Structures are given as C-alpha cells and as structure tokens.
C-alpha cells in the first residue's frame, strides 16, 4: 500500500511524519501537543494539564458557582435575561444555522467526499457497530428521551388541540387527529435530524482534524483553517475554555436536576423519602459508578455501560410496543415520519414565524440546548469514530438515531396521547414532567417492573453522560491529550458531582443551566466555522478507494 | 533462561526509563536474548507523534539506537488505542503473547497508597501473565 501522503501543493506534509492508516493529508504545523502543558508529580499524583485552559477554566467555574450560590436572587434574573434575549431575538439565527448543518450533512452523505475515511484510507474501526452506536446514542440524548418522550408530544398535543399561543404552527384547534399529527411532527423535529446534525458537524470536524490532519483532539483544532497557527494562542484558549464551561455546567446542572427527577420517581414508586439526602445519595452513587467507568476506560467502562443502557432501553421500548397500542404504534411510526416530512419546511422556517412562542420558546431553546451540548457529545463521538467513512459516519450519527427517535417518540408519546384521547385517562397529562413516564407505564401491565427498569435507565444514562463528559473535559484541559494521567479524569467527575450537590443544596441549578445553555450562541458561530472547516478539510483529503 | 525480553517503553517519558534500559541491556547480553520494545499509544495525535505510524517510526529508531548501545538483536511493536491509559495493561498482556516474550522488564514507581485503587501497570501485568516479570524501581 502506498503510504506516501498525496500533498496539496500549498499544504506540504511535515517531512518525516507518515500519514495515518493509508493516504491522508496532515496539516503542517510546528505545534507539539502538550507543549503548553504543565506536568507535575505532587503527592504521588502525576498531572499533565494545559496551564492556561485548565487554570482559567477552574477559576471561571469556581467563580460562577460561588456567584450563583451567593447572589442567587440577583444573578438568576441576569442569566434569564441573557438567555431570553438570545432565544427571543436570535431564534432565526439558531433555526437558520441548524438548517445549514442538516443540509451540509445530507449533502455530504451523497457527495463523493462521503467516501473519505476518518483516520486515513486504510484505518480500521475501533468499535463494533453495536458498541459504537450504543455510545453515541447514550451520550447524545438518552436521558432526555426518558423524560421528554412522554411529556413533549403530550404538551404539543394539548396546546395544538386547545389552540393556545404555544402551539406549533398555530395549532389545530378542536381537531384531535390534526393536533396529534402536529404534536408528533414538532416533537420529532426537536429530536430528529437537526440535533443529530449539530452533533455530527462537531464530531466530524474534530475527528477529521485530529485523525486525518494530526491536530490535537480539542475544539480549537477546528479553527485551524481559519486562524492558522493563531489557534495555539489565546483565540484557541478561549474556544477551549468555553467548551469546558458549557460541558461542565451542562453536565453538573443536568446531574443535579436529573437527581431531583429520579428522586421524584423513587418516591412515587417505592416511597423513598423525598429529601435532600436521597438526591445527594443519588448524585454520589452516580458519580461513584461514573468514576469506576472512567478508570476502566472507554472500551471496558463507557462502552459496556452504554451497551447495557441500549439493551435495557430497547427492552422497555419493545415491551411498550407489545403491550401498548401495537397497531397504532406500527402505523403511527410511518404516519409520523410522513407528518414530520410534511411539516418540516414550515417548522424549520427561520423567518416570519407567527408561532413565536413555539419557535422561540421551544425550537430556539432546543437548538441552543443541543448546541451547548455539542462540544461534549461531538468530541466524544469523534474519539470513538476512527475508521468510519464520512458517509458511514453521517448515516450512523444522523439518520439512524433520528429514526430511533421517531420510533421512541411514537411509542411513548403516541401511547400517552392514545391513553388520554381514546381511553380518557387524564392522569398522564396532569402529572409533572418527572412522573409522566411512570404514570404512562402504570396504565400498562407489569408496571412495577417497567417502572423499575425506567428508573435504572435514567440513572445509568446519567452515568454514561458523566463518564464520557469527564473524559472530554479532561482531554480539553490537557491540551487535547487523551493519555493524560487517570486521576485527572476522576477529578472532573468528582467536580461535576460536587457542583451538582452544592447547587442542589444552595439553589441555582436552573439558573446556572440557563447560563450553560446560553453558550449555545457562541457555539453556533463555532459550528458554522466547523462547517467551513469540514468542507475545506475534506476537499484536501485523498479519496478512499 | 530468557530468549526474548519484552520492554514496554513510553517515548514521552524516556528520561525516567534510562536506569531500567541499562539493566535490560545487561541482562540481554548475559542471556544473549532478543529485545522487543513495545509501546501503547493513543490513536489521536500525542506529544510524541501526530499519527500512530509516526510513533512506530520513532520507536523503531529508538530500538535501533539501543541496538547500537548493547549490540543485542532488537525489534519494536506499537499498539494504538482509543484509551491508552485504561487499556495499557490488557494490551501489554496481549503483546507478551504476540511477541512470544519469556521475560518482561518494565520500570515502575515506588509503592504508594494510590496503588490500592489504581495498581501499577507492572504489578497488574505480572498477575496476568505466565512470563517472568522484572519490575525495576525508579529512584525518586
């Protein structure tokens, strides 16, 4: 096999650096990974950290936690105002950008660039399809599907049927069938192609610039085509610090809020005392399992837990399909795909929307949310995707999970709507978001078992977020190194748990989460740059045979 | 007694390996053994190499350099991994079989409390292989 890189005349490959597996086009840079790192051996612990990114991130994190705890009443409205401004005034920007991501990804699937392989033309995948898919799904949205699978379709159905101002596309007042179609289309819109395209853009750009171009696995590397060597300086530091901020606070606040929701489930099902102690024990438990998982590593920890998760989730899904309204779900799957396709142009229209509450309060909120999660999910997906072709990658990261989302939403949301509309059961609709899933399951046989499985799923989904998130934060704060000493990963997992507990006790979880989601705005700009970088990077790659 | 000595090396921390390497050379000369230098590296770019292939090249160069010092026959083998820190023990065990090593010589740190939760690589490899394992303590 010819291992000589085929160079672009203007982008010479460093002399003496062989390409990855088979032809690829390395970027020529003098930057040595870890050159700005501080290494120390304090108290028997080896540390290897990017001096500026680690210390500034740590200071900012501490500052925000202290500020939020101390000045909660003052600062929460400020966070809310920032986020309100972003979704209110820039909804069009989020919606437009997300459309660009979807179009780019679909375009790449069908273009000849789709043949390019991540890691070089001869690279072999590190994981099986099952292991790979489990990890990207568990990291991507697992937990949200548990809570919003029932809640969101029901909520949209309610607002569409009642003709409220929050209805998607002005709703379908009094028409149950049309309201259901609209509700399912809107839900799938928020959980389908768009979020996965957002993740795919980040993941593909990072994978490409790390595995094929030889740059560190860090957000800043994506900016290389735009900023050149300047990415190793302050512009790069700022991008990486922002990624740490979004990931850490996104994970910590979700962990805190998730513990509240899981505790509500435990109280409802088993009468566990609804106290801070229950929630703190949950957070500690989740963090401990996550630590075990990250010490065991990506293959033996994260992958194993993700597989367990996906198997449990599939069992729950097929159980509900089997004992729930099976025929309705089977036909509903195709109907909902059709509804999604029919309503997609109107739902994704960024301009002149008349359903401002929906497009700003729901869609823009979701897009900011997914985008703020994208550095973490994207970087994790990138790390496990070596050896896949661009086409295989995009089909697996975008089309397959979107299809699973449609099936999941049809099953859980469709069953809940059916219980409400056909059977007149109002309990599901009236319950809080953290209990709706359990009340829906209660209407089906063996609810004690399925509810228990659901609780376990919620907890394990949190573990898989916490462990992969800690790996990502560790690699960013170690200057893109994935082989930094293990105690550093443990440190980040503990910090996540500690922030979650501090905010749970002191208040401010929702406030800080709002701030974390606000990072969706700068990241949207970063993702747009990533789109440019992907095209430029792929164009300079030799095609796989 | 020993025909094939496997020596795990991390090119990023070569300076700490120096004392161990000279012990390896002495023993290899005594038994006229072949030495295989083995590394486990990330498949993402690292401080040593931007591709696993570059790492292979550097390890081979390192092996040849050692050959010049001690004169024993050498070879090198690199394993690249998504998570080298977590998989190093398993990959070294695999390497022992693939290389056919009858002795593993590796540098290790002094015992510490942290070993209870995170055992040293040398200790862990020794409990999982039939080959002899020689752990060389590095001076503090």
CA distances from A364 to A11, A164, A189, A402 (A): 39, 19, 12, 19
Residue ranges, chain B, pLDDT below 70? 110-118, 139-140
Q: H/E/C letters for each residue in B30-85?
A: HHCCEEEEEEEEECCCCCCCCCHHHHHHHHHHHHHHHHHHHCCCEEEEEEEECCHH
Identify the band that residue A19 occupies on the pLDDT scale cut at 50, 70 and 90. Answer: low
Q: Is residue A528 part of a domain?
A: yes
Q: Identify the pLDDT of residue A17.
A: 61
Q: Could you tell me whether strands A37-42 and A45-50 are parallel, antiparallel, or unpaired per DSSP bridges?
A: antiparallel
Residue A5 has pLDDT above 60, yes or no: no
Identify the band that residue A11 occupies on the pLDDT scale cut at 50, 70 and 90. Answer: very low
**Rounded to whole angstroms, how far apart are CA atoms A109 and A338?**
22
Residue A544 has pLDDT above 80, yes or no: no
E strand intervals along A391-497 = none
Q: Identify the pLDDT of residue A428.
A: 84
Residue A13 has pLDDT above 60, yes or no: no
Identify the band that residue A14 occupies on the pLDDT scale cut at 50, 70 and 90. Answer: very low
Chain A residues close to B84, C-beta within 8 Å = 482-483
Chain B residues close to A2, C-beta within 8 Å = none
Q: Identify the pLDDT of residue A144.
A: 81
Residue A36 has pLDDT above 60, yes or no: yes
- Classify each residue of B58-86 as buried b or exposed e, where b means 16 or more C-beta atoms within 10 Å of its C-beta: bbbebbeebeeebebebebbbbbbbbbbb
**Rounded to whole angstroms, how far apart are CA atoms A84 and A87?**
5
Q: Are A209 and A386 in contact (CB under 8 A)?
A: no
- In percent, the amount of chain A with pLDDT more than 70 equals 94
> Closest partner residue to B86 among A33, A45, A300, by Cβ?
A300
Q: Is residue A61 part of a domain?
A: no
State the smallest CA–CA distance between residue A13 and chain B in angstroms: 12
Q: How far is CA A13 from the centre of its chain?
A: 34
Q: Does A67 touch chain B (CB under 8 A)?
A: no
- Closest alpha carbon within chain A to B87: A297
Chain B residues close to A33, C-beta within 8 Å = 45-47, 50
**Rounded to whole angstroms, how far apart are CA atoms B27 and A500?**
54
Q: Is residue A55 part of a domain?
A: no
Q: Per-domain residue ranges for chain B?
A: 4-137
Instruction: Name the nearest CA neighbour of A152 among A354, A463, A355, A361.
Output: A361
CB contact under 8 A, A18 and B41: no
Q: Is residue A18 part of a domain?
A: no
**Rounded to whole angstroms, how far apart are CA atoms B46 and A237?**
18
CB contact under 8 A, A383 and B51: no
Interface size between A and B, measured as CB pairs under 8 A: 103
Q: Which chain B residues touch A if contact means CB-CB below 8 Å? A: 12, 41-47, 49-54, 56-57, 81-87, 112-114, 117-118
Q: Identify the pLDDT of residue A267.
A: 87
Average pLDDT over residues A440-462: 90
Residue A171 has pLDDT above 80, yes or no: yes
Q: Which CATH class is domain B4-137?
A: alpha beta
Chain A residues close to B12, C-beta within 8 Å = 483
Q: Is residue A403 part of a domain?
A: yes
Identify the band that residue A3 occupies on the pLDDT scale cut at 50, 70 and 90. Answer: very low
Chain A residues close to B120, C-beta within 8 Å = none
Q: Is residue A475 part of a domain?
A: yes
Q: Where are the alpha helices (DSSP H) in A29-141?
A: 51-70, 72-110, 129-140
Q: Identify the pLDDT of residue A543.
A: 63
Q: Identify the pLDDT of residue A487.
A: 86
- In percent, the amount of chain A with pLDDT more than 90 equals 48
Largest CA distance in chain B: 40
Residue A262 has pLDDT above 50, yes or no: yes
Residue A6 has pLDDT above 60, yes or no: no
Residue A139 has pLDDT above 90, yes or no: no
Best B46, B85, B116 member to test A by mutation, with max A CBs in 10 Å, is B85
Q: Is residue A15 part of a domain?
A: no
DSSP notation for A212-226: IT---SSGGGGGHHH
Size of chain A, expressed as the number of residues it contains: 545
Chain A residues close to B52, C-beta within 8 Å = 20-21
Q: Are B63 and B48 in contact (CB under 8 A)?
A: no
Q: Identify the pLDDT of residue A163.
A: 85
CB contact under 8 A, B57 and A383: no
CB contact under 8 A, A298 and B82: yes
Average pLDDT over residues A214-236: 91
* Three-class SS state of B7: strand
Give me the CATH number covering residue A535.
Answer: 1.20.1740
CB contact under 8 A, A33 and B43: no
Q: Is residue A63 part of a domain?
A: no
Average pLDDT over residues A315-333: 93
| Conformational region of residue B83, where left means phi above 0, alpha means psi within -120 to 50, and beta covers everything else | beta
Q: Identify the pLDDT of residue B117.
A: 66
The CB density around residue A317, as the number of other CB atoms within 10 Å, is: 18
- The burial of A535, by beta-carbon neighbours within 10 Å (0-12 exposed, 13-18 middle, 19 or more buried), is given as middle
Best A18, A124, A131 member to test B by mutation, with max B CBs in 10 Å, is A18
Best B44, B56, B107 member to test A by mutation, with max A CBs in 10 Å, is B44
The mean of the pLDDT values for chain A is 87
Of A162-166, A240-244, A473-477, B64-68, least confident by mean pLDDT is A162-166
Q: Does A543 touch chain B (CB under 8 A)?
A: no
Average pLDDT over residues A311-326: 93
Q: Identify the pLDDT of residue A389.
A: 94
Higher pLDDT pick, A523 / A7: A523
Average pLDDT over residues A34-46: 74
State the smallest CA–CA distance between residue A217 and chain B in angstroms: 7
Q: Identify the pLDDT of residue B137.
A: 82
CA distances from B24 to A100, A277, A515 (A): 58, 55, 56
Q: Does A390 touch chain B (CB under 8 A)?
A: no
**Rounded to whole angstroms, how far apart are CA atoms B57 and A474?**
28
**Rounded to whole angstroms, how far apart are CA atoms A37 and A49?**
5
Q: What is the pLDDT of residues A73-108, one digit of tens each?
A: 888 888 889 988 888 889 999 999 999 999 999 999
Q: Are A69 and A507 in contact (CB under 8 A)?
A: yes
Count the domains in chain A. Answer: 1
State the smallest CA–CA distance between residue A364 and chain B in angstroms: 34
Q: Are A215 and A228 in contact (CB under 8 A)?
A: no
Range of the domain at A503: 92-539
Residue A535 has pLDDT above 90, yes or no: yes
Residue A444 has pLDDT above 60, yes or no: yes
Query: Which residue is associated with the tokens 């051996």?
Result: A41
């Amino acid at each position: 096999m010819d291992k000589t890189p085929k160079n672009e005349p203007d982008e010479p490959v460093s002399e003496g650096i062989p390409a990855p597996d088979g032809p690829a086009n390395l970027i020529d840079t003098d930057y040595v990974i870890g050159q700005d790192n501080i290494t120390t051996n304090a108290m028997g612990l080896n540390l290897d950290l990017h001096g500026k990114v680690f210390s500034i991130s740590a200071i900012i994190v501490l500052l925000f936690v202290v500020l939020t705890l101390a000045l909660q009443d003052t600062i929460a409205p400020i966070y809310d105002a920032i986020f309100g401004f972003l979704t209110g005034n820039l909804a069009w920007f989020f919606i437009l950008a997300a459309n660009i991501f979807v179009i780019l990804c679909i375009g790449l699937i069908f273009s000849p660039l789709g043949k390019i392989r991540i890691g070089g033309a001869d690279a072999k995948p590190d994981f099986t399809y099952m292991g790979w898919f489990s990890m990207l799904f568990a990291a991507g949205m697992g937990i949200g599907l548990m809570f919003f699978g029932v809640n969101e379709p029901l909520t949209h159905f309610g607002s569409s049927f009642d003709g409220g101002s929050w209805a998607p596309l002005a709703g379908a007042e009094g028409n149950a069938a049309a309201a259901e179609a609209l509700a399912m289309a809107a839900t799938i819109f928020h959980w389908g192609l768009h979020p996965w395209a957002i993740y795919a853009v980040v993941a593909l750009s990072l994978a490409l610039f790390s595995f094929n171009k030889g740059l560190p696995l860090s957000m800043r590397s994506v900016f290389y085509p735009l900023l050149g060597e300047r990415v190793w300086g302050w512009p790069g530091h700022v991008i990486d610090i922002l990624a740490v901020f979004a990931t850490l606070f996104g994970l910590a606040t979700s962990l805190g809020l998730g513990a509240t929701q899981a505790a509500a489930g435990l109280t409802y099902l088993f009468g566990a005392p609804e106290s801070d102690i229950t929630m703190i024990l949950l957070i500690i438990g989740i963090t401990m399992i996550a630590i075990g998982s990250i010490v065991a590593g990506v293959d033996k920890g994260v992958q194993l837990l993700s597989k367990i998760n996906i198997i449990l989730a599939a069992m729950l899904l097929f159980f509900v399909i089997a004992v729930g309204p099976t025929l309705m779900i089977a036909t509903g799957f195709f109907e909902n795909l059709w509804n999604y396709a029919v309503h997609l142009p109107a739902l994704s229209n960024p301009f002149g929307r008349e359903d401002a509450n929906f497009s700003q309060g729901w869609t823009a909120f979701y897009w900011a949310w997914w985008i703020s999660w994208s550095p973490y999910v994207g970087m994790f997906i990138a790390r496990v995707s070596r050896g896949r072709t661009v086409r295989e990658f995009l089909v697996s990261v975008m089309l397959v999970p979107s299809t699973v989302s449609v099936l999941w939403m049809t099953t859980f949301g469709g069953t809940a709507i059916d219980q409400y509309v056909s059977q007149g059961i109002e309990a599901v609709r009236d319950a809080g978001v953290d209990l709706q899933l359990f009340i829906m399951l209660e209407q089906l046989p063996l609810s004690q078992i399925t509810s228990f499985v659901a609780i376990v799923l919620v907890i394990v989904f949190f573990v898989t977020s916490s462990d992969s998130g800690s790996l990502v934060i560790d690699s960013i704060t170690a200057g893109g190194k994935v082989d930094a000493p293990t105690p550093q990963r443990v440190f980040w997992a503990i910090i996540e748990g500690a922030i979650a507990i501090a905010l749970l006790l002191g208040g401010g979880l929702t406030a800080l989460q709002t701030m974390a989601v606000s990072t969706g705005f700068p990241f949207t700009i970063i993702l747009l740059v990533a789109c440019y970088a992907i095209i430029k990077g792929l164009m300079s790659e030799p095609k796989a045979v | 007694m020993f025909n094939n000595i496997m020596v795990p090396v991390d090119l990023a921390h070569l300076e700490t390996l120096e004392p161990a390497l000279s012990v390896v050379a002495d023993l290899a000369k005594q038994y006229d053994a072949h030495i295989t230098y083995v590394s486990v590296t990330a498949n993402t770019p690292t401080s040593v190499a931007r591709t696993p292939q570059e790492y292979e090249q550097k390890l081979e160069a390192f092996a040849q350099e050692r050959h010049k010092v001690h004169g024993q026959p050498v070879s090198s083998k690199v394993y690249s991994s998504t998570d080298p820190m977590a998989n190093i023990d398993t990959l070294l065990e695999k390497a022992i079989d693939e290389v056919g090593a009858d002795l593993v010589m590796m540098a290790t740190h002094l015992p510490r409390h942290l070993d209870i939760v995170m055992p040293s690589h040398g200790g862990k490899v020794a409990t999982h292989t039939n080959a002899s394992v020689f752990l060389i303590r590095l001076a503090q």
